[in-house]
Amino acid sequence: MKSYFLFALLFIASFSFGQNSPNKSPDPNKKTLIVEASCGQCQFKMAGKGCTLAVRMDGKSFFVDKAKIDDFGDAHSKMGFCNAIRKAKVQGDIVDGKFVATYFELIDKK
């Protein structure tokens, strides 16, 4: 019974976390954009509390949904999003003023 419970818990956890992150590879049928990525508050001067991943495209900044600031390393390191503006290859859509990422890859290596 304990092993069944553990299996069910792990299954639910992996399913839940998998729903909240962008795909590992781009969709060949969707347009891929090159954007600036950084901390919205620290680098793009967006309103909000704490540090939140954002992208800037065509001079407009959007907070990112489906990818988190610490998914790409320590945000407060020398090349972290709070201290540097990085280049990223992304796919997704603007929904309710946020960029909902279906693919997100940093293209400038640390």
| Topology (CATH level 3) of domain 2-106 | OB fold (Dihydrolipoamide Acetyltransferase, E2P) (2.40.50)
Token output for 24:
């590992």
In one-letter notation, the amino acid at residue 96 is D
Q: Identify the pLDDT of residue 46.
A: 98
Banded pLDDT at 110 (limits 50, 70, 90): low
Q: Quote the pTM value.
A: 0.78
Contact at 8 Å (CB) between 37 and 88? Answer: yes
Contact at 8 Å (CB) between 75 and 61? Answer: no
Cα 70 from Cα 50, distance rounded (Å): 12
For the segment 13-39, the average pLDDT, to the nearest whole number, is 78
Domain boundaries, the chain: 2-106
Q: Identify the pLDDT of residue 1.
A: 52
For the segment 65-81, the average pLDDT, to the nearest whole number, is 95
In one-letter notation, the amino acid at residue 14 is S
Which residue bears the tokens 């495209």? 57
Contact at 8 Å (CB) between 102 and 22? Answer: yes
Query: Is 62 strand, coil or helix?
Result: strand
For the segment 2-28, the average pLDDT, to the nearest whole number, is 56
